[in-house]
A and B are shown apart, each in its own frame.
Chain A
């Protein structure tokens, strides 16, 4: 059973990260400081029940795993997400994607270019085709709900 609150709690956490940690990240120049923050972002999220680590939610990377839950608000048609990864950096990167995409409608999702934030943060190499961390697969799955 998916606890419905997970989507509102995740949305709140993502909003807080967008307001607080993202501006910090954008100011940092050296890779160590950026990754230090990136690796702690996951702690801001609500607990993801181990029972949701199911194959039906799994987005397979080669090196690490990610689980993605989806909910669409029937009234506003907004798409909401909750997620987890067994690797901290991948989890941080998914957060940076979803601070931009969470709560968007299909029309808004079609227009979104979440990769540009990663480029601005010089983290874009993590999303290239050759990467087996699954981030590209996560992004494709999010865009596929349209």
Chain B
């Protein structure tokens, strides 16, 4: 490992405030390094003014910082242009804008959209709200017996000629990494517009949107060590131009009369209202912080954490592991046979182990595998082997209590 865990943890003030907790709910939200908090503090205490609007020099200073943040994200994703980075409040909001925006210009009645069984509700429900009522049909790639993306079935479903293929990079419920290079290649060959949900994937590996030839890519700031309430919808210029704005008002307009309005250019056209300026600056600070870290070492460390936890779980009788230990971005979902995941999670909570129980905003996935849900352990670069071992001990205690 090419990083020092103690000095890494020291950069996260949250752990100092909660030294007796083990935080394994990292897929829900990550903690923030001091660099992110500092950047937001500097923005509010020294730069705060509304961007793009006001005539004064202070606003220009805020605008410069805000637009520099957009450039940081564009470079991080290797987007061609900064205007291809649309600020959203998060991946969910991004999907709602995307699906609404595609209707009419790209998607019409009778068109098909292809998603997978592992999708988060954010990549399911917006289709229900904005697309299905207008005659769009949703097809779903099934899982293999090992709960993996079924590439063979995907190839078959592509024969239905979906206009859009929208797939998650990493399953938020299982941690499994989808074969995105194959998915994009096959989808493109079938003529589809490709959307990648990067909410869980971006912290696992950086995505080069040009090298992968993605048409749209979405992620959330708070799952990349950044603040909540900020996210990104990346799109190729030609496709962003097609999107109808979901929200109106503020910076998104060019001219308005009582009978009609015309819309601003990208990216502002899709950014109604005063944007989350501090959030954008905090997210850029998170990316700059991340670029100073050894990402390959982070990945190796997370692989080792998963392996150690997985092996430990196999020593505890009656645990059913839903996730596999390989091609896994740092999430292990499990159940105790015949017991409700909420009970297991409560007994872990008593021992100050923070995990999540339930269906993890992926109800159709759990319907597909005929399960009430799971307890989800999700790991981050700042977790230690000692934490894994203590969690395994706590898990054994909880299992014993439930077995009585």
Contact = CB atoms under 8 A, between A and B. Distances in A.
Interface residues of B, number: 17
Given A35-B350, A86-B372, A132-B358, A63 B401 contact: no
A61 B359 CA distance: 12
Contacts of A88: 339-340, 343, 402
A36 B340 contact: no
A133 B350 contact: no
Contact of A63 (B342, B347, B397, B404): B342
B346 interface: yes
B363 to A, nearest CB: 11
B402 A63 contact: no
B401 A36 contact: yes
A105 interface: no
Interface string A112-140: 00000000000000100000110000000
Contacts of B357: 63
A32 interface: yes
Contacts of B209: none
Contacts of B372: 86
B402 to A, nearest CB: 7
B342 A39 contact: no
Interface string A36-78: 1001100000000000000000000111100000000000000
Nearest to A134: B342
Contacts of A63: 341-342, 345, 357-358, 373
A39 B399 CA distance: 13
A83 to B, nearest CB: 15
Given A63-B357, A63-B358, A86-B372, A39 B397 contact: no
A87 B401 contact: no
A133 B397 CA distance: 21
Given A32-B397, A36-B404, A64 B350 contact: no
A88 B342 CA distance: 9
Interface string B323-359: 0000000000000000111110111001000000110
Interface string A17-47: 0000000000000011001100110000000
A126 B340 contact: no
A33 to B, nearest CB: 10
A63 B347 CA distance: 14
Interface in B378-404: 397, 401-402, 404
Contacts of B346: 35, 89, 126, 133
A31 B340 contact: no
B343 A89 contact: yes
Contacts of A89: 342-343, 346-347
Contacts of A61: 342
Contacts of B397: 32
Given A31-B350, A62-B358, A63-B358, A90 B342 contact: yes
Interface in B159-202: none
B266 to A, nearest CB: 38
16 contacts: A35-B346, A35-B347, A39-B402, A39-B404, A61-B342, A63-B341, A63-B342, A63-B357, A64-B340, A86-B372, A88-B402, A89-B346, A90-B342, A126-B346, A133-B342, A133-B346
The 5 closest A-B pairs by CB, nearest first: A87-B340, A63-B342, A64-B342, A87-B342, A63-B358
Interface of B: 339-343, 345-347, 350, 357-358, 372-373, 397, 401-402, 404
Interface of A: 31-32, 35-36, 39-40, 61-64, 86-90, 126, 132-133
Given A32-B401, A39-B401, 8 more contacts: A31-B350, A63-B342, A63-B357, A63-B373, A64-B340, A86-B340, A87-B340, A132-B358
